[in-house]
Amino acid sequence: SQQGEEDPQALSIQEGENATMNCSYKTSINNLQWYRQNSGRGLVHLILIRSNEREKHSGRLRVTLDTSKKSSSLLITASRAADTASYFCATGPGNTGKLIFGQGTTLQVKP
């Protein structure tokens, strides 16, 4: 069964707007990661946030983590057409060697 659930499943915005995607999970975690997948390609790691962190930034990406609510959000600011992709959250429960991926959010950025 999937650990992470992304919301929304699909998102369509105009270039320049901000995009927010949410991820909820069920069990305690060691860390949470976000990945991007362009159509027909493999996943690419974006950012990792540890369970003792609340917010992390990387360029136009901002990730928050609320362990009390078992949720995370990914914000992409000033979106570009090149940001069009599917975005997945993945959780590391800790000491398992594995990540558990959610079903993803498909983002379309219209030029």
Partner 1 sequence: NAGVTQTPKFRVLKTGQSMTLLCAQDMNHEYMYWYRQDPGMGLRLIHYSVGEGTTAKGEVPDGYNVSRLKKQNFLLGLESAAPSQTSVYFCASSFAGEIYEQYFGPGTRLTVT
CB of 10 to partner 1, least distance (A): 11
Q: Select the residue interacting with partner 1 from 83, 92, 107, 109 (CB under 8 A).
A: 92
- Quote the tokens at residue 110: 């219209």
* CB of 16 vs partner 1, minimal distance in Å: 29
Ramachandran area for residue 20 (φ above 0: left; ψ -120 to 50: alpha; else beta)? beta
The letter for the amino acid at 90 is A
CB of 13 to partner 1, least distance (A): 22
Which residues make beta-bridge pairs with 107? 11, 85
**Amino acid symbol at 63:** V
Pick the closer one to partner 1 by CB: 100 or 107: 100
Q: Which of 39, 42, 59, 69 binds partner 1 (CB under 8 A)?
A: 42
Q: Which of 48, 56, 67, 108 binds partner 1 (CB under 8 A)?
A: 48
- The CA distance from 89 to 47, in Å, is 10
Rounded alpha-carbon distances, angstroms, from residue 102 to 8, 15, 60? 12, 26, 22
Residues contributing to the site for partner 1 (CB under 8 A): 1-2, 30-31, 33, 35, 40-45, 48, 88, 90, 92-94, 96-104
